[in-house]
Chains A and B, each alone.
Chain A
Amino acid sequence: QVQLVESGGGVVQPGGSLRLSCAASGFTFSSIGMQWVRQAPGKGLEWVAFIHYDGTNKYYADSVRGRFTISRDNSRNTLYLQINSLRAEDTAVYYCAKLWLYSAGWYSMDHWGQGTQVTVSS
C-alpha cells in the first residue's frame, strides 16, 4: 500500500532553514509527480509546491517562491522541501502528497502523509 512519511520538522528561529523529507513506498515513485501542501494551526490547506516525476519542472506558490525549493531523489524514493528565510507565517504542518494519475494535469492528490510540524519562533 502507498505510504508517505514526512520528517525533518521542528522549531526554528525566524530567518532559519530546515529541510523536510518525505519517504515514499508502495508505488513507483520515479514515475509520479509529488506535491507539498501546508496547514497553519487551525487554518485551511495551502498549496506549496509541485515537482514533476523526473524533477524537470517545479511550480511554487507565490508565498514561498524564492525561499522554498522542492526536489526529489528517485534513487532513494524521497521527496524534499528546503525551506529558507523562515517567517512566523510559515508555521504549519507540512504534508507531502502523491499526484492522482487518472486525471489530466497535476491538480489532484490521492495519498497524503501524516505531516511534519514546522514552528517558527524566537
Chain B
Amino acid sequence: QSALTQPPSASGSPGQSVTISCTGTSSDVGAYHYVSWYQQHPGKAPKFIIYEVTKRPSGVPDRFSGSKSGNTASLTVSGLQPEDEADYYCSSYAGNYNLVFGGGTKLTVL
C-alpha cells in the first residue's frame, strides 16, 4: 500500500491561513470517510487533531478544519500561531484492514 502524498512543506505568517493537501486514490481517501490528521512537534509524539475528515476532538481549537474532495483531503489552519509550527500527517483507511499515512508536511510559521 503506497503512502498518501503530502507536500513536503508549507508556510504562512501569523494570522494567515494555510491549507495542507493529502492526495490518495479511489481505494483509500476517495473511498472512505476515514481521514485523520495528526500534529507532531520535533521530538514529540503525534497529537490527534481531526478524524472522519472534518471532525475535531474536544480540546482542539476550531482554527483547525478538515475537508475532502475526491481523492484529496485537506487540513486548513486558520489564524496561524507560532505554536502551529510542526509536522502534519494525514492518514486514511485503505480497505483490506490497511491504514496508510501521508509522508508528512512541515508547516513553518514565518
From 16 to 50 in chain A, residues with beta carbon under 8 angstroms from any chain B beta carbon are 37, 43-47, 50
Q: Encode B76-110 as 1/0 by CB contact (under 8 A) with A.
A: 00000000000001011100011111111000000
| CB closest chain-A residue, reference B48 | A110
The reply to whether the CB of A61 lies closer than 8 angstroms to some CB of chain B is: yes
Total A residues in contact with B, Cβ cutoff 8 Å: 27
Stretch from A71-79, A82-90, A100-108 at the B interface: A100-108
> With the chains together, A109 CA to B100 CA distance in Å?
13
Total B residues in contact with A, Cβ cutoff 8 Å: 27
Query: By the criterion CB–CB under 8 Å, are A50 and B99 in contact?
Result: yes
> With the chains together, A109 CA to B99 CA distance in Å?
12
Task: Report if A100-B101 is in contact (Cβ < 8 Å); known contacts: A45-B46, A115-B45.
Answer: no
Give, as a whole number of angstroms, the nearest-CB distance from A83 to chain B: 18
Query: By the criterion CB–CB under 8 Å, are A62 and B52 in contact?
Result: no
What are the residues of chain A within 8 A of B36 when measuring CB–CB? 107-109
Leading 3 A-B pairs by shortest Cβ distance: A59-B97, A112-B45, A44-B104
A sample of 29 inter-chain contacts (CB < 8 A) reads A37-B46, A43-B103, A44-B3, A44-B104, A45-B46, A45-B91, A46-B3, A46-B101, A47-B91, A47-B98, A47-B99, A59-B97, A59-B98, A62-B1, A97-B46, A100-B48, A102-B51, A103-B34, A107-B93, A108-B51, A108-B52, A109-B36, A111-B48, A112-B46, A112-B47, A112-B48, A113-B45, A114-B45, A115-B45
